[in-house]
Structure 1
Amino acid sequence: METERAAALLIATVEALSSRAPAIVAAAAVELGPFTLGLHFGDGSKAALSARHSRLWATEGLPGESAVEVYFDDRGMNLLFDLARKPVDEIWAGSLDVRGEREAVLASWRCFSLLAQRGAGLRAVQALWQDWRARQPQRWGRPSTPRDVVSEAGTWPPPRHSRWSALEYLDRRSPADLAVDYNGLPMTQPAYALWDGRNSSAWWAWPTVQDNDLLETMKAFKMRVVEEILDIIPKREPAAELYDLMRAYPVREGKGLRPTLTIATCVALGGRAEEAVRAAAAIELFHNGFLIHDDIADESESRRGKPTLHAEHGVALAVNAGDGLNLFAVDAVLSNLPTLGLARTLALIHEIMHMCRETVEGQAVELGWIHRNAVPRHDADYFSMSTQKTGWYTCITPCRMGAVCAGVGAPELLDRFNAAFRAIGVAFQIQDDVLNLIGEEALYGKESLGDLLEGKRTVMMIHLFRTADPRTREAMSRINKLPRVKKGREHAEEMLAAMKRFGSIDYAIEVADKLALEGVTRFESDLSFIPDNEAKAVLRQIAHYVTTRAL
């Protein structure tokens, strides 16, 4: 995103933090509360900042009404992230001015202070602000490094040449080439403070504990687990008809959520990252096998921006490749025996078999609804089905298996993960369902409106059938009854229009937000037995990722 104007810089910063450090955004949203800020910048640009559902919303232009008016000139922007100074030293006459009622002004100050304390430590945020300054040499002077020189961190200009005292201080404290390793956990994009769920401390208070860049962390863990999967799948014949097909889904774009949960949980409980890699690979092998079979059952045409395996190679080869992935997933679990020992390996087998049973039962429930052309009346029915079909293998089992890899086998401790990550998993699935209807296909990974063409019983559909008039329900039921091959785009558009008309999408977003907040609350209470460390901070970021995810 081009950030020549300060308002665009604010928007880009909020977007970067929402994806890379969601716990920071959620905490800042709580501090801001119900107040809307009107922001005026020295370059004449303007922006609005507000909080909703644990998310921060930043848009260009002033809002219709604002509780607080904030004025920054260039000097005020320069000091915004420089918390080496006392707050009173940051406010210079005519440079940074805040106008509004006392409660609203204090809320906005707390919000900006928290963003500054924690957000400025992320390399991605530093790069945005450095680039903004570099585009305005008339204000800040030209950097001492030519524009075509790239630093080791991959950003330009390097922090040490930013001519920004706050960022240069941070770079000296945590240089870009610093290799941080916590029990084998690659702490990429280091920052400087830990959010413990209650308080945010200044950078000097936590010299070793850091907010991690969630986006970079998930990417690193996904790459490591994909590497393990490619090592597990044999490089032999029949390649074109089997083994090449088995590699197709794992190497496609994905979030890396399950590998991150598995490995971070292991490290948070005292294990080493490598001890959990095989378990994470096993979950991913099962997941991709399920996806191949799901796509066939749902008659889906695309997966992660590419044709589904059966669409490209035929149903027979796709089914066989899915079977092969499930086979090697079992082998991946068993291969932990030499490194983790008998007890932990048996516990992993127990966890993975329970996960598979929950998944196929949940799939059967959903397919049964479609087969009978039935729409459940209560949201709780969807919650139960979603927990079984995707919640266990997406959130709950990865955490439990990571704990087992670390040597935690007590059922009462393993069960502590269930409630928090059940709520987080269902919220995540509802958000995926919403994205399939109103989001960009690149964000969701499947064809747009595919869920409606497949007749999936989502919270939106349940709400629609519960609230619509009899005539609309009858029309929607006729669409659901049509087989997939007879449904056209016009049918999906008709049902989408009905969902919008009866408020079903907004209702689903509200439900997801409530579940996500429930999950975050349970995370802090149920998992208090895990000591605060870098790996638990990663788990916390994932818990908050659901609450701050853009829809």
Structure 2
Amino acid sequence: MTETLRQYAELTRTAMAEAIAGGEPADYLYDLVRDYTARKGKGLRPGLLLAAADACGAATRTALPAAAALELLHTAFLIHDDVEDHSRLRRGRPTLHELHGVALAVNAGDALANLAVRPLTSTAFPRYRSREVLAELRLAIRQTTEGQALELGWRRHAVVDLTPSDYLELVGRKTCWYTTMAPLRIGAQLGRWRPEPAALDRLGFLAGCAFQIRDDLLDLAPGGQTGKTPRSDVVEGKRTLVLIHLLSVADPAERAWVVDYLNREPDDRSPADQDQLLTLMSAAGSLAYAERFAAVLATAAQESLGTAFADVPPSPALDFLRELIDYLVSRTD
């Protein structure tokens, strides 16, 4: 699986580089745009899109402009997310706003979001496909920004009375649409065999939620995730499933302490207080709860994959897609 994912990622990065080549002013805009796109990620989103397209009978070269557009959009989101979350590292290097300031970083993110549609205007990509893919990207943008607004609003107003259902609603919008649902939907649109739509959306939702819970847990692991600031979610006070569970089971004194922690500004959450919050999460069984929750979602996702692609002929691409879904929901890095 790793080699196939690497190949998909390399093809997508090449297409992205072609889409954003040149442009002035370089020092203040296009060099910044190319910085993030050149930082090698795992390529999970284009991998899902290209594998789904291949499994449904579309040639990789046909689907590649859509994969490049989606990954360019994802990169624009990363730039803005890093500003909103005050993140200092992205893929092992300082974030764009740390290097160039918030104003130039935000502007570069805006430019990149606009450039994301450029691959869809290529003469090699059919015009009617462009309209279909653009409609999916617009839907993903709307859902993602609505989800991001929810998360930022909860943090701004110190919202603590939340349930797992609230978390799933948030993640369904903020993460699932552009991480799993849009790649699968777009890939399926490009092929001649069509998966069952409702099951495909269910697959994307379940896999995306499990992916985000896994991401939340990795952030809390010793050393954090590769290339990211360790336990950034704790510093930022993000309403993860782990935190929501802790708030629901902590005794009154401990819950009051957690609420007070969340009411502070991130700079006022000391390393000792961060350690204390992690200790409470562990003692309350919140980490184990999130692990079990993600495992249930992962099992349901694989069942949905079987239903969604029941009428799609067996192929190496479909086998890869199954392996990639497994990786998404059980990764350790």
Q: TM-score, with normalisation over the residues of structure 2?
A: 0.95
Please list the CA deviations of residues 395-431 of structure 1 after superposition, one character each: whole Å capped at 9, or x if unmatched: 11011111222256x7x84443110121111001100
In structure 1, what residue type is equivalent to 2:124?
T
CA positional deviation for 1:237: 2.3
Map 1:148-167 onto structure 2 (within 5 A).
none
Tell me the equivalent position of 2:263: 481
Tell me the equivalent position of 2:163: 378
Tell me the equivalent position of 2:318: 536
Aligned mates of 2:276, 2:36 — CA distance in 1: 32
2:236 to 442, 454, 468: 454
Instruction: Tell me the SS of whatever aligns to 1:249.
Output: helix
Asked if the contact 1:424/1:519 (under 8 Å) is kept, the reply is yes
2:217 to 405, 412, 434: 434
Tell me the equivalent position of 2:175: 390
Tell me the equivalent position of 1:420: 203
Instruction: Tell me the SS of whatever aligns to 1:375.
Output: coil
CA positional deviation for 1:520: 0.7
Question: Is 1:468–2:250 an aligned residue pair?
Answer: yes
CA positional deviation for 1:547: 4.8
| Larger relative contact order (Cα-Cα within 8 Å, sequence gap ≥ 6) | 2
Aligned mates of 1:492, 1:252 — CA distance in 2: 29
Greater fraction strand: 1
In structure 2, what residue type is equivalent to 1:457?
R
Q: Where has structure 1 moved over 4 Å in runs of 4 or more?
A: none
Asked if the contact 1:423/1:515 (under 8 Å) is kept, the reply is yes
Asked if the contact 2:176/2:208 (under 8 Å) is kept, the reply is yes
Map 1:245-394 onto structure 2 (within 5 A).
245-333=32-120, 335-336=121-122, 338-394=123-179
In structure 1, what residue type is equivalent to 2:41?
G
Tell me the equivalent position of 1:520: 302
Greater fraction helix: 2
Aligned mates of 1:260, 1:359 — CA distance in 2: 20
Aligned mates of 1:253, 1:404 — CA distance in 2: 27
Aligned mates of 2:167, 2:161 — CA distance in 1: 8
CA positional deviation for 1:497: 1.1
Asked if the contact 1:396/1:422 (under 8 Å) is kept, the reply is yes
Question: Is 1:495–2:277 an aligned residue pair?
Answer: yes
Aligned length: 333
Please list the CA deviations of residues 155-214 of structure 1 after superposition, one character each: whole Å capped at 9, or x if unmatched: xxxxxxxxxxxxxxxxxxxxxxxxxxxxxxxxxxxxxxxxxxxxxxxxxxxxxxxxxxx1
Tell me the equivalent position of 1:239: 26
Aligned mates of 2:263, 2:2 — CA distance in 1: 41
Please list the CA deviations of residues 481-537 of structure 1 after superposition, one character each: whole Å capped at 9, or x if unmatched: 112233332222121111011111111111111101110111112221211101111
Asked if the contact 1:304/1:442 (under 8 Å) is kept, the reply is no
Aligned mates of 1:239, 1:233 — CA distance in 2: 11
Tell me the equivalent position of 1:218: 5
Please list the CA deviations of residues 137-170 of structure 1 after superposition, one character each: whole Å capped at 9, or x if unmatched: xxxxxxxxxxxxxxxxxxxxxxxxxxxxxxxxxx
Which entry has the higher C-alpha Rg, 1 or 2? 1
Name the CA shift for 1:439/1:265 in 2 (closer, same or farther; >3 Å): farther
CA positional deviation for 1:221: 1.0
Asked if the contact 1:344/1:407 (under 8 Å) is kept, the reply is no
In structure 2, what residue type is equivalent to 1:228?
A
Ranges in structure 2 where 5+ consecutive residues have no aligned partner = none
Instruction: Tell me the SS of whatever aligns to 1:248.
Output: helix
Please list the CA deviations of residues 17-36 of structure 1 after superposition, one character each: whole Å capped at 9, or x if unmatched: xxxxxxxxxxxxxxxxxxxx
In structure 2, what residue type is equivalent to 1:401?
I
Aligned mates of 2:222, 2:192 — CA distance in 1: 41
Aligned mates of 1:480, 1:367 — CA distance in 2: 13
Please list the CA deviations of residues 52-77 of structure 1 after superposition, one character each: whole Å capped at 9, or x if unmatched: xxxxxxxxxxxxxxxxxxxxxxxxxx
Asked if the contact 1:305/1:441 (under 8 Å) is kept, the reply is no
Please list the CA deviations of residues 253-298 of structure 1 after superposition, one character each: whole Å capped at 9, or x if unmatched: 3111111111111111111001111111111111111111111111
Query: Alpha carbon RMSD of aligned pairs, Å?
Result: 1.7
Name the CA shift for 1:220/1:379 in 2 (closer, same or farther; >3 Å): same
In structure 1, what residue type is equivalent to 2:173?
Q
Asked if the contact 1:218/1:257 (under 8 Å) is kept, the reply is yes
Name the CA shift for 1:368/1:516 in 2 (closer, same or farther; >3 Å): same
Asked if the contact 2:218/2:332 (under 8 Å) is kept, the reply is no
Tell me the equivalent position of 2:187: 402
CA positional deviation for 1:385: 0.6
